[in-house]
Every structure is written in C-alpha cells, then in structure tokens.
Amino acid sequence: MSISDRERLRMQDPRTQYPQPPFPRQPQEAPGLAAAMDPKPDHGETSYVGHGRLAGRYALVTGADSGIGRAAAIAFAREGADVALSYLAEEDAEARSVAELIEAEGRKAVLLPGDITDQAFCERLVDQTFDQLGGLDILVNNAGKQTNQSEISDITTEQFDRTLKTNLYAMFWISKAAAPLMPPGASIINTASVVAYKAPEILLDYSTTKAGIITFTKVLAKQLIEKGIRVNAVAPGPFWTPLQPSGGQPPDAVETFGSSVPLGRPGQPVEIAPIYVFLASQEASYVTGETYGATGGTGLA
C-alpha cells in the first residue's frame, strides 16, 4: 500500500493519511511476515525520498527484514548509506527484497541472517558488517520479541529468557562489539517503546525490556561520548508491523490496533524512519542520551 512521495508529503489530515481500523483478523506464527499483513505496511518502498544526509556512511540494522528496521534500512540507503541487514533465516525472502531496494539506489547491501540471542553470532554480525562494508558508522538495535500474556503465570521461563535475550542481551552484545570499531561522529540508535512508560498488563516481559533499553541508552551515551559516539533511543507507539499479528497482540486487538491513540490509527513504518535518519545524521550532533517518541499523540509522560 505504498504511496508516492508526492502524496505522502503533501499537506493532509494525519488521521486519515493511512489506513484506520478496523482491520481484518490475521493471526500469524512468529516472527511474522509483512507480506501477509492486510493492509500492507508502508516501509517507504516507493514513498521515501532521500536527501544525501548519510552519504558514504556504513550502517548495521537488526530486524531489518520488516517493520521499523526495514523502513530505517530503506531510508538510510536513500540517504546514501551502505547497509548490513540482520534478520532471522526464516525472514530471508523479505530481507532480500530490502537488499534489492538498497542496491537499486546504487548502495551496497549485506545480508547477515542469524539468531541474535546467540552471543557468538552477535559478535560475528558486527565483524562481518565491518569487513564487508568497510566500516561501521551507524548501529540500529531494533530487532525485538513481543508475546502477549494476560497473567505472569502464563509466561514461561523460556519466553521470558528469549524476550530478554532478543531485546536486551543482543543490544548489549552488539553494542559492545561495535563500539571499538566506530569512529567519532558515529551513532547508535536503540528501539525502545511507549510501553516503557505506559505498560499494558499483557506485555510484562516486553515492557520490562523496553524500560531497560531506555536506561541502557542513557548510560551508554555517557560512556561513549568520550569517544565522540552518540547514543539515542526511539520510542514508537502502535506501529503496523508483523510483531503485532504474530503474537504481540491478541488477535481481536489487532483488528482495532491503534484506535486508542489520538490519531485513531497505527503508525506506518515509513512515518518513523525520518527520526532514525535524523539521529544517525550530523544534524543531530548535539543529541545524545535522548529518547524520541512517535506515539500517535499519547506522549511519553
């Protein structure tokens, strides 16, 4: 359902700019695919136009096959960056379609499938990005696991462990491996969530990790500014990504997803991509240790 750049950027009512609920019932198995969603998410495939803000940069994006990671990867390439894509092997087809879009811009795309809950893979991921791109200037820790459960008794140790390893441990392992390779002026961007501030009762483990990401970002920013590396977070509200129908929300909640925010609809991934571009660019030279919200009007307070 991608729209033209001219259509996306013309002045219009943001409440009706993109599809509004109700949506069809559409449960998926995790990790979920954007291609199976109705309506299709807009990641900027045809609607994002770059302006050279990241010319000559090298970026690594986790969870880059779909959702916010896909939108960030497309935007980075349109802004002039080469991009390494981290994703699960079962998401290969969607990751390859991102790579094709990146290469269509004349930029280099590196496909790096694997499981970021494995520390050794996270370390290889950084090394392979650096070797195959020739550098590492931008790191986006975006991949996430979200599984709704109404009671703590329903959360297994396996689920809790995998959520923390995907959302927190991987961010730690990847950032630790990347920091020594990143030059002054580089940027690390972590994907948090509005649930760090307004946690729903069905997302106990996920909300815990997102609050941790914000604190991790604040502390790492203080450490790495000594090397000239900025660290920030983005806190999305309800965004239309495969995370939601593949277990992130109950099936009936997907049908009305985003209806509770003032804008009355979920965000499309392309709508948050410019925040990642800004935080990665030199235009954000005085921004570190911050969390930027895109919540559809609910705010972070």
Q: How far apart are CA 159 and CA 68, in angstroms?
A: 23
Cα–chain center distance at 288: 18
According to the model, what pLDDT value does residue 5 have? Answer: 58
Which amino acid is it at 227? K
Task: Report the alpha-carbon distance of residue 66 to residue 269 in Å, rounded.
Answer: 9
What residues contact 192, with CB distance under 8 A and at least 6 apart? 210, 211, 213, 214, 217, 233, 234, 235, 291
Q: Mean pLDDT for each 10-residue chunk of the chain (301 residues)?
A: 62 94 95 93 93 97 98 98 97 97 98 98 98 98 97 98 98 98 98 98 98 98 98 98 94 96 98 98 98 97 82
Task: List domains and CATH numbers for the chain.
Answer: 52-294 (3.40.50.720)
Q: What per-residue string of b and e applies to 123-140 under the rule 16 or more CB within 10 Å gives b?
A: eebbebbbeebebbbbbb
Closest CA relative to residue 230, chosen from 274, 184, 276: 184
Question: What's this model's pTM, rounded to 2 decimal places?
Answer: 0.95
DSSP 65-110: TSHHHHHHHHHHHHTT-EEEEEE-GGGHHHHHHHHHHHHHTT--EE
Q: What is the pLDDT of residue 1?
A: 47
H or E element that contains 58: strand 58-62
Q: What integer pLDDT is reported at residue 3 of this predicted model?
A: 58
Residues catalogued as catalytic: 206
What's residue 122's pLDDT? 98
Q: Are 281 and 53 in contact (CB under 8 A)?
A: yes
Total number of residues shown for the chain: 301
pLDDT reported for residue 10: 80
Q: Which whole-number Å values give the CA distances from 1 to 32, 66, 105, in the listed order?
A: 18, 14, 21
Q: Answer left, alpha or beta for residue 134, where phi above 0 means left and psi between -120 and 50 means alpha.
A: left
